[in-house]
Amino acid sequence: MEEINAKGVILRAFDEYRLKSCIDFRPRNEEFYYISVRKLNGCFSYVGRTLSGQQLSIGRFCDSMATVQHEFLHALGFFHEQSRYDRDDHVKILFENVEKGFENNFEKVNKTDSTVSGLPYDYNSVMHYGSEAFSNGKGPTIVTKDPKFQDVIGQRQQLSPIDVKELNRRYKCNSTTAFHMFCSFSNGSMCGMNTCSNTDNDSGWEMVKQAQGGPETDHSTLPTASSKNGTEEGYFMHASTARGEEGKTSRLETKMMEPTRECHVQCLQFYYYHSGNESDILNIWIREFDDQFDSEGTRRLMGQITGPQTSHWRIHHVSLNATKNFQVEFEARTGAGNSSGGFSIDDINLSEIECPHGSLQIDNYMESNNNKSIIYSPRQYTIDGYAYHESALPCPELAPVKIAHPPMDLDSGPCVPRIFGFSPAMVASPALTLLLALMLSMP
């Protein structure tokens, strides 16, 4: 299981690179330069393109997202952050606390070789050592000049925004490999989407700040957000099923998108809130177009939401497999019963990667955190039919949670204080949505 987990994590790490940069990874054909990923002793990589076929090791306990991303950043030419030529302006290395024989890990890289790209020193970089790295047990080896960053250095959750910027500058990326669109409807922008309905005098989907019957706010600015004073409440899209008759349909369609990756998989991620009748339906379609003369396109139903109301915004994923230019269409359909609300959607994200195979959403996290017991996801299945649960353990010192995949020991997993998701604009929601993405069924 350990190998399966490592493989899944590595594939997820590749997808994160595809989402955030123009870097792509593919199996080797005849290429002279390549990376051979092995399970050797420890986690390591050479810096840059040094050997024709360099070995990169994802050893035991190295199978976490950020560690894999860290090693691949080395292979992509990155040194450790505290090796920058100007690091003495930002951190102090306490050599008296460094274990004998390991001092060379704290050497500086000269100005011409430093990977700086005109960007500021980044305490939050996934390439920065933690304060106790190579300590002989007599205290920290790195002290930040600004004390508030002392506990920040060494984060191993994800690429920092500056890591991403640096990667994109070094590789001259103008776009990303897999990211297509994100629409938060903030500032009242529809991101080029259109609405229509089959009812006169009712345009169907509307952009609102709150909806009759709920929700009271958009997804990303819930009232208990830590930034509650600074944030303007945002917009979301709402289709009422309280007005109009049974069979009324309201459609919201995205602008045209073009699949660019050969794999022809796309993941649509969005948040929804259902405050209507349980017979109301939200259909998710794609409409594919043969060529520029095809004005109608061909519609295929890809997903459906119906049933009881929700008490919170819920995350939802729909796997798409468009092979031609396509639009996504959200169709709210009024059912038979009485409704005092409708469907709402927010923070739509479309990427050319596989959807997560499992997700676990913890609502009212701040309250549920109090009992500090393990929270289990609904049962998930691997492609071979093995059942498993995802588990999340609240982590008091590093709010909010520690996650573990089944093969991992709960006591050795990383603490994860951020949300896992696809959104490049990472949304910190107080009713914390924790997204666990496992790619167990990938070949």
- Which residues contribute to the annotated binding site for Zn(2+)? 70, 74, 80
CA–CA gap between residue 293 and residue 226 (Å, rounded): 50
Q: Does 233 participate in catalysis according to the annotation?
A: no
> 437: closest CA among 383, 377, 386, 396?
377
Q: Residues 406, 388: contact at Cβ < 8 Å?
A: yes
Total Cβ atoms within 10 A of residue 330: 27
CA–CA gap between residue 190 and residue 184 (Å, rounded): 8
Instruction: For residue 96, give the 3-state DSSP assignment.
Output: helix
Q: CB-based contacts of 91: which residues, under 8 Å, 6+ apart?
A: 82, 142, 143, 144, 145, 153
Tokens of 113: 């070789």
Tokens of 253: 């369609």
- Tell me the binding residues: 70, 74, 80
DSSP string spanning 198-225? SSTT--S-EEESS-TTS-SS-SS--TT-
Tokens of 197: 């309905």
CA–CA gap between residue 11 and residue 6 (Å, rounded): 9
Sign of the torsion formed by the C-alpha atoms of 412, 416, 419 and 425: negative
> 365: closest CA among 394, 387, 338?
394
Tokens of 26: 């593919």
Per DSSP, helices labelled H in 208-326 are none
* Residue for token pair 């080896």: 141
Instruction: For residue 18, give the 3-state DSSP assignment.
Output: helix
Q: Kind of pairing, strands 380-381 and 401-404?
A: unpaired
CA–CA gap between residue 203 and residue 201 (Å, rounded): 7
CA–CA gap between residue 437 and residue 267 (Å, rounded): 13
The enclosing H or E element of 365 equals helix 365-368
Which residue out of 2, 16, 30, 71 is catalytically annotated?
A: 71
CA–CA gap between residue 309 and residue 341 (Å, rounded): 10
How big is the chain by its Cα radius of gyration, in Å? 24
CA–CA gap between residue 267 and residue 413 (Å, rounded): 27
Q: ∠ at Cα 174 (173, 176), nearest 5°?
A: 75
Active site residues: 71
